[in-house]
Structure 1
Amino acid sequence: MKIDIEEQERERMPLERNFDRIISPLQSFLQSQSSAGMLLLIATFIALYMANSQWQEAYIWLTEYHVGFIWGEGYIIHSAVEWVNEGLIVLFFFLLGLEIKYQVLAGELQDTKSSMLAIFMAVGGMVIPALTYLAIMTLMAGDSWQGWGIPMATDTAFAIGLLVLLGRRVPTSVLVLITALAIVDDMGAVLIISFFYTDSVSLMQLGYGAITLSLMVLANFLGIRWAWFYLFAGLVLWWFISHSGVHATTAGILAALTVPAKPYADTHWFARNMERLVSRFKRMDNNDTTILEQQQQHDLAEAAEDIAITATTPVQRWQSKLSKPISLLVLPLFALLNAGVVMPDNSASMGSATVFWATMLGLLVGKPLGIFFFAYFAIKLGFAQKPKDMIWRDVIALGCFAGIGFTMSLFIANLAFSGSADSLAHAKLGILAGSLLSAVLGFCLFLSKSKSQLK
């Protein structure tokens, strides 16, 4: 929540006013909903430019630069791209798990009946793109079947960031639906990664992970709300899961699902105690002194912070704390290290690249068609209801924006084609082309709406 303070109520440092004029536009950008999508876009362009210019060697050095820890005869050393894809990206999945838990318990997915439209859309947006990929692979006599999961994903940050730029041309229900749809979509992607992109499983390591997860669940039931406990236990769970053969990102989702969703105290206790604190704070307030000179006021302000923490849920609090760092740092870094694919010298090589066409058409054609037809039949059969502020054109446009499958699609592509550099490069090109064309088509559909359709 953004806190607005009137100028006359500010306490400023000597040079703060002039510095504020410079930094305020940056702060506004970072606070905006479109900032995450824009930073992803910038990171992608930088990666593509470096990989296809005189900076190519520098880009390869950056992605392959090895970082790690050495102690005695033991060591853990990985390349930068491995640390991001196996480690930092787990934080994104942890945040995703917190969002899933919130949406199921109190959000758009709380009532299954009212969320049926988003669920049908998500299922259509996963099934049809996968079938489209397999159909193209069959028609072009390709053999890279393992990439069928790539066009199933939706990049929420990109999609919502671009939709916000369209302003009132996008109905509110579209933003709500694509958020709920993306959550269900991400659930499917996590299951696909866990079950279909796992080579071999170590039952012993998986057993240790199960014990760790059980302890985290027990801690939840016991009412333990210490962030440090879940951080340490989550790291242990990540270690066991990553060494079991199941992809490490699964640990992020599982750890998030154990985070407590109940506060320590209820809202009535919060309101009553805050009123007492504010009353005492006002009695001590003096225009001639600052809080630096009033230690008791400082103590009351700290007590207010403790009360706020006591009356808020760890799920919501940790989600709000992690959202910006992950969307503004982790995801752009992931894009920077993964989106740098070398463009082919001629279009002839792309003409025979089945992975490119299957991936691109899966996102560009499969996503909107799957979402539209599943939504249409769900509404016509009475399983769901179309929002009043939406027209069928909006459903197709929503499907186009859901075809922006950047972050998760790149991640699945890395897993699907880890042993084939050419197929991985073609998959990445297909993701970039499909996502870009999907965004352009979605923009055109919303921008071409008539005045009567905007009412």
Structure 2
Amino acid sequence: MYRVWNFVTNYSLLLIAGALLALVWANIDPHSYHDFVDFVIIDDFIVGHAHEVNGEIHRTLTLHYLVNDVLMALFFAIAAKEVWEAVILQNGSLRGKKAATPLFATLGGMLGPICVYLGLAAILGSTTFDAVSRGWAIPTATDIAFSYLVGRIVFGAGHPAVRFLLLLAIADDAGGLIILAIFYPTGEMAMEWLGFSMLVALAVFVLFNWLPRMMDRGDQLRQKSTWVRTKLSFWPYLIAACLSWYGFQESGLHPALGLLPIVPTIPHADRAFGIFSEAEQYLTDLLNQIEHGLKLPVEVILFFFGLLNAGVEFSSIGSPTWLVLAGLLIGKPLGVTIFGYVAAYPLKLGLPAGMRTVDLFVIGCVAAIGFTVALFVASVAFDGSVHLETINVQDAAKMGALFSFGAAIVSIVVGKLLRVEKQHS
């Protein structure tokens, strides 16, 4: 439990602190808060929010752009690292038959919220549907750290449902990254710039990863690889990451995803132990060393992400808020349960030993804690100018993401009602 709480403390408590500070600030003095969020660091810069001036495109680097589009790329790189290891490495958690049912449940946990969100929006009328439909992906998110912590509280550390939940959350992260890349571009697609990012990734992999290993064939001392590791360290990958990020910005894809092509190119461990495994902290491969080095910067980045994105006035609460919550609290449990059941029984993929069918519903309730990624998607789904009557749709949707913390209480209550037997070892 210590390691889990330590992880949550490192990556989420500062985020919550920033979000709470933003809520208080925005409701006490909204004008100064929004002036802070939109503070211009550099005008007419090579990176930043694009706008047209006298027929020419200029970019303004604001504080909000710096955090959301530049620095949050480090957070998504860490998420991508966990997904990559889970898929590609020996004993990766998303490999083999053991991951089949959780993957089906993840699909349900994404389709369920979408159906509930859009279905209820359609019932509310065409005006509401047109205003909020772009936010369909907001309730598909699962906050991996807090969901895992709540899952351990509900089921106990040794219950097979906890591992099932972790697999679901990791797969959900992968799905979220794909959704952001495909459905939320920042502009028209420029494939040549996306190709540039991929070419940079290929070049850094071949020159600084694959080639030294090929040259070390037959050399037990691995002199070439050792020289690259000790003399060049992470610098080639840092340069490649900057170039890839710029390629994403120019390509029209969201630049916060700009480091994803670089993550698989970095030398990594031969085995995956899992994001909450005690052994993970002792791995010395370059990929894990980079992740450990990013720990403190990402903590600070998440604080500012919460501060710059969660500042919503309570008067903004409206139908988009309840649609996001309904998608999470209704669609997520139903989707996980239905798809998990179909995978386990009609498809005969089974459930982990010691896990009941009703545990799927409880897992769905826990996975309804969206928060971090839901808040991010809400910030990119709406540009802040969309209103539904007098309500700012983006702010209302963000409030739904913040209120998703209520899923923790729901999960504990549902766990008691369905008589979940805790297993602590």
TM-score, normalisation: structure 1: 0.74
Structure 2 CA distance for aligned equivalents of residues 29 and 261 of structure 1: 23
Q: How far did 1:76 drift?
A: 6.9
Are residues 38 and 162 of structure 1, via their aligned partners in 2, closer, same or farther at CA, if it must alter by over 3 Å?
farther
Structure 2 CA distance for aligned equivalents of residues 373 and 313 of structure 1: 40
**Structure-to-structure mapping, 1:316-335, within 5 angstroms:** 316-323=288-295, 325-326=297-298, 328-335=299-306
Aligned to 1:402: 367
Structure 1 CA distance for aligned equivalents of residues 174 and 111 of structure 2: 14
Q: How far did 1:258 drift?
A: 1.5
Aligned to 1:341: 312
1:281-333 C-alpha deviation (Å, 9 max, x unpaired) = xxxxxxxxxxxxxxxxxxxxxxxxxxx99x8322333333334542x322232
User: Aligned partner of 1:177: which letter?
Assistant: F
Decide whether the 8 Å contact of 1:100 with 1:183 is kept in 2: yes
Aligned to 1:221: 210
1:358 matched to 2:365? The reply is: no
Decide whether the 8 Å contact of 1:413 with 1:424 is kept in 2: yes
Aligned to 1:299: none
Structure 2 CA distance for aligned equivalents of residues 322 and 176 of structure 1: 26
User: Aligned partner of 2:409: which letter?
Assistant: V
User: Aligned partner of 2:258: which letter?
Assistant: A
Decide whether the 8 Å contact of 1:48 with 1:341 is kept in 2: yes
Decide whether the 8 Å contact of 1:154 with 1:182 is kept in 2: yes
Structure 2 CA distance for aligned equivalents of residues 78 and 325 of structure 1: 20
Decide whether the 8 Å contact of 1:128 with 1:366 is kept in 2: yes
Aligned to 1:238: 245
Aligned to 2:71: 88
Are residues 370 and 43 of structure 1, via their aligned partners in 2, closer, same or farther at CA, if it must alter by over 3 Å?
same
User: Aligned partner of 1:136: which letter?
Assistant: L
TM-score, normalisation: structure 2: 0.79
Decide whether the 8 Å contact of 1:37 with 1:159 is kept in 2: no
Flag as ranges the 4+ runs of structure 1 deviating above 6 A: 69-72
Aligned to 1:176: 163
1:213-232 C-alpha deviation (Å, 9 max, x unpaired) = 22123233224553111011
Aligned to 2:176: 189
Structure 2 CA distance for aligned equivalents of residues 314 and 427 of structure 1: 39
1:430 matched to 2:380? The reply is: no
Decide whether the 8 Å contact of 2:40 with 2:61 is kept in 1: yes
1:46 matched to 2:21? The reply is: yes
Q: How far did 1:344 drift?
A: 1.2
> Does 85-94 or 248-257 show the bigger shift?
248-257
Decide whether the 8 Å contact of 2:113 with 2:139 is kept in 1: yes
Structure 2 CA distance for aligned equivalents of residues 242 and 316 of structure 1: 26
1:106 matched to 2:71? The reply is: no
Structure 1 CA distance for aligned equivalents of residues 59 and 122 of structure 2: 42
Structure 1 CA distance for aligned equivalents of residues 248 and 236 of structure 2: 18
Are residues 137 and 97 of structure 1, via their aligned partners in 2, closer, same or farther at CA, if it must alter by over 3 Å?
same
Aligned to 1:388: 353
Structure 2 CA distance for aligned equivalents of residues 159 and 426 of structure 1: 23
Question: In structure 1, which of residues 62, 73, 97 is the aligned counterpart of residue 36 of structure 2?
Answer: 62
Question: In structure 2, which of residues 395, 410, 420 is the aligned counterpart of residue 441 of structure 1?
Answer: 410
Decide whether the 8 Å contact of 2:5 with 2:149 is kept in 1: no
Aligned to 2:138: 150
Are residues 32 and 255 of structure 1, via their aligned partners in 2, closer, same or farther at CA, if it must alter by over 3 Å?
closer
**Structure-to-structure mapping, 1:95-134, within 5 angstroms:** 95-104=78-87, 105-134=89-118
> Counterpart of 1:312 in 2: which secondary structure?
coil
Q: How far did 1:428 drift?
A: 0.9
Aligned to 1:159: 147
> Does 401-410 or 63-72 show the bigger shift?
63-72
Structure 2 CA distance for aligned equivalents of residues 397 and 133 of structure 1: 20
Structure 2 CA distance for aligned equivalents of residues 30 and 176 of structure 1: 16
Are residues 446 and 35 of structure 1, via their aligned partners in 2, closer, same or farther at CA, if it must alter by over 3 Å?
farther
Structure 2 CA distance for aligned equivalents of residues 161 and 48 of structure 1: 24
Q: How far did 1:448 drift?
A: 5.4
Q: How many residues align?
A: 373
Percent identity for Structure 1 against Structure 2:
28
Larger radius of gyration: 1
Are residues 232 and 102 of structure 1, via their aligned partners in 2, closer, same or farther at CA, if it must alter by over 3 Å?
same
User: Aligned partner of 2:255: which letter?
Assistant: A
Decide whether the 8 Å contact of 2:12 with 2:302 is kept in 1: no
Aligned to 2:268: 261
> Counterpart of 2:96 in 1: which secondary structure?
coil
Question: In structure 2, which of residues 103, 119, 122 is the aligned counterpart of residue 135 of structure 1?
Answer: 119
Are residues 382 and 324 of structure 1, via their aligned partners in 2, closer, same or farther at CA, if it must alter by over 3 Å?
farther
Structure 2 CA distance for aligned equivalents of residues 362 and 168 of structure 1: 24
Structure 1 unpaired stretches of 5+: 3-27, 264-307
Structure 1 CA distance for aligned equivalents of residues 32 and 401 of structure 2: 24
Structure 2 CA distance for aligned equivalents of residues 71 and 184 of structure 1: 37
Structure 2 CA distance for aligned equivalents of residues 149 and 35 of structure 1: 27
> Counterpart of 2:98 in 1: which secondary structure?
coil
